């Protein structure tokens, strides 16, 4: 991730301009002791937030839309309490700002953590990384008593049954036919659906643990960032990192250190498949890094099921047809569009829990009035560039926003 000249601006929902002038005014009115520090916009921009580096040690994060508006308050309430119990640094929010000057949402100032975004190739000791990830998750799961005030996770990540993602996941499997092994993916998915649900006391989870939310220094883990999906419940969602970053050689170390039972591991494979497919079908054709990372994630799941990695398959993939096609929208953002058989596109929403799955793409367009709209990318597969924390210093992973998407990553 690079630091851009502050003369540019970023777009929020409904064309809201979030430029350096606005950030300066917000700081001067609410945090005047920081108002004169250097301000540099980070590029590429985050998908949930516009991000500015403030001085050398801080960052300012401003939500782009309503879907991200609660993140600042959640992190401000919980991360300072969790941080002392964790073996790796996490971003500690320094302040939460109020809406002002026409900007309608809470925003935050956070501590900047040094490091670079984790990569598979950049790890100097993968076995150590596997053990450290397990230690971190063990500590996080039991860091604090799970209280009634525990923040709710994003519904489409862990707050609804995995079965609610069934239609969209099967549609994504069909869309990548010829690139991945469809029978193998179907077997993985159906095994995850059949796996017993989490029946123990809820534990804390990160909610979006993938390599884009890990920082490394000198090839070793140095921080865990981006806690917008923080919540409590089934920890299977956090195990996606086993296929996103680890290998067949290091996954057993990770699993043994966490003492993961068979049912939780099987559900975790389902999460790894469905989140990988979501990002891959959305962005592989337009973002080479997303294509590479999500292709690896899906392939690693299939390797564990005895399916060899199809390394001859194209890295860039744009399915010929699928229930929803990604099309560019203004300001570099993206929106889900329904593509009818005659090639004409119309904006479509995504099904809510009470809505039946559409029988066709054209039906999905006709139902758009009853479905929740999908606007702008949210978290998913890692985006390009340097990663950093709490959405405030990184090119956020891409994928439609958590409560407004076909399937969430």
- pLDDT tens, residue by residue, 175-189: 999 899 999 999 999
CATH topology of domain 2-114: Phosphorylase Kinase; domain 1 (3.30.200)
Segment 208-227 mean pLDDT: 93
Report phi then psi at 396, rounded to 5.
-55, 150
Quick: pLDDT tens for 278-306.
989 988 888 888 889 999 999 999 999 88
pLDDT at position 266: 97
Q: Which two tokens stand for residue 231?
A: 């919540």
- For residues 351 and 202, which has the higher predicted lDDT (pLDDT)? 202
pLDDT at position 152: 59
CATH topology of domain 117-320: Aminoglycoside 3'-phosphotransferase; Chain: A, domain 2 (3.90.1200)
pLDDT at position 13: 55
Query: Is 220 within 8 Å of 409 (Cβ atoms)?
Result: no
Place of tokens 């640094």: 89
Q: Quote the DSSP letter at residue 253.
A: H
- Lowest-pLDDT range, 250-254, 271-275, 309-313, 342-346? 342-346
Whether the per-residue pLDDT at 223 is higher than 90: the answer is: yes
pLDDT at position 360: 34
Residue spans of the domains in the chain: they are 2-114, 117-320
| Model confidence band, residue 253 (pLDDT cutoffs 50, 70, 90) | very high
| Model confidence band, residue 44 (pLDDT cutoffs 50, 70, 90) | low
Q: Which two tokens stand for residue 252?
A: 């057993």
Whether the per-residue pLDDT at 207 is higher than 80: the answer is: yes
- Lowest-pLDDT range, 38-47, 125-134, 212-221, 325-334? 325-334
Whether the per-residue pLDDT at 405 is higher than 70: the answer is: no
Whether the per-residue pLDDT at 402 is higher than 50: the answer is: no
Euclidean distance between CA atoms 16 and 250, whole angstroms: 45
pLDDT at position 309: 53
Query: Is 292 within 8 Å of 266 (Cβ atoms)?
Result: no
- For residues 122 and 2, which has the higher predicted lDDT (pLDDT)? 122
Euclidean distance between CA atoms 274 and 117, whole angstroms: 23
pLDDT at position 157: 39
pLDDT at position 180: 94
Query: Is 99 within 8 Å of 105 (Cβ atoms)?
Result: yes
Stated pTM of the model: 0.74
> How many whole angstroms from its chain centre is CA 18?
22
- Lowest-pLDDT range, 34-38, 185-189, 210-214, 355-359? 355-359
Quick: pLDDT tens for 354-385.
333 333 333 332 222 222 222 223 333 223 22
pLDDT at position 163: 85
> How many whole angstroms from its chain centre is CA 357?
24
Query: Is 114 within 8 Å of 89 (Cβ atoms)?
Result: no
Q: Work out the percent of the chain whose per-residue pLDDT is above 90.
A: 51
Euclidean distance between CA atoms 86 and 93, whole angstroms: 16
Segment 232-240 mean pLDDT: 93
Q: Work out the percent of the chain whose per-residue pLDDT is above 70.
A: 67
pLDDT at position 393: 27
Whether the per-residue pLDDT at 10 is higher than 70: the answer is: no
Query: Mean pLDDT, the chain, as a whole number?
Result: 75
Segment 151-180 mean pLDDT: 78
Cis check for the bond before 44: say yes or no (omega within 30 of 0). Answer: yes
- For residues 13 and 104, which has the higher predicted lDDT (pLDDT)? 104
Q: Which two tokens stand for residue 38?
A: 């250097």
| Model confidence band, residue 80 (pLDDT cutoffs 50, 70, 90) | very high
Give one DSSP letter per residue of 121-148, joined into a string.
TT-S-HHHHHHHHHHHHHHHHTSS---T
pLDDT at position 285: 81
Whether the per-residue pLDDT at 214 is higher than 50: the answer is: yes
């Amino acid at each position: 991730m690079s630091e851009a000249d502050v003369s540019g601006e970023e777009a929020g929902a409904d064309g809201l301009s979030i430029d350096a002038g606005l950030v300066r005014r917000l700081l001067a009115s609410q945090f005047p002791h920081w108002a004169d520090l250097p301000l540099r916009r980070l590029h590429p921009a985050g998908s949930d937030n516009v991000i500015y580096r403030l001085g050398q040690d801080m960052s300012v994060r401003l939500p782009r839309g309503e879907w991200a508006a609660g993140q600042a308050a959640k992190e401000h309430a919980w991360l300072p309490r969790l941080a002392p119990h964790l073996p790796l640094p996490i971003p500690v929010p320094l302040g939460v700002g109020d809406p002002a000057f026409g900007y309608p949402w809470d925003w935050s100032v956070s501590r900047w953590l040094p490091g670079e975004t984790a990569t598979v190739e950049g790890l100097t000791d993968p076995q150590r990384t596997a053990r450290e990830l397990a230690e971190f998750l063990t500590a996080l799961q039991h860091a604090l008593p799970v209280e009634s005030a525990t923040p709710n996770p994003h519904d489409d990540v862990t707050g609804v049954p995995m079965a609610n993602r069934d239609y969209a996941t099967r549609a994504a499997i069909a869309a990548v036919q010829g690139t991945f092994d469809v029978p193998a993916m179907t077997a993985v998915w159906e095994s995850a659906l059949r796996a017993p649900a989490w029946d123990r006391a809820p534990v804390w989870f990160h909610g979006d643990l993938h390599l884009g939310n890990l920082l490394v220094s000198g090839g070793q883990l140095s921080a865990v960032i981006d806690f917008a999906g923080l919540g409590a419940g089934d920890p299977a969602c956090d195990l996606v990192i086993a296929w996103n970053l680890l290998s067949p050689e290091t996954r057993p170390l990770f699993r043994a250190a966490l003492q993961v039972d068979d049912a939780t591991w099987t559900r975790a494979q389902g999460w790894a498949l469905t989140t990988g497919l979501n990002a891959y079908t959305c962005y592989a054709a337009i973002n080479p890094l997303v294509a590479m990372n999500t292709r690896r994630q899906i392939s690693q799941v299939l390797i564990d099921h005895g399916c060899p990695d199809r390394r001859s398959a194209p890295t860039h993939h744009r399915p010929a047809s699928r229930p929803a096609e990604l099309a560019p929208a203004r300001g570099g953002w993206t929106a889900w569009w329904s593509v009818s058989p005659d090639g004409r596109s119309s904006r479509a929403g995504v099904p809510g829990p009470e809505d039946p799955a559409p029988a066709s793409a054209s039906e999905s367009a006709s139902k758009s009035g009853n479905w929740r709209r999908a606007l702008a990318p949210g978290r998913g597969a890692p985006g390009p560039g340097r990663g950093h924390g709490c959405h405030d210093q990184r090119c956020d992973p891409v994928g439609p926003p958590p409560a407004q998407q076909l399937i969430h990553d």
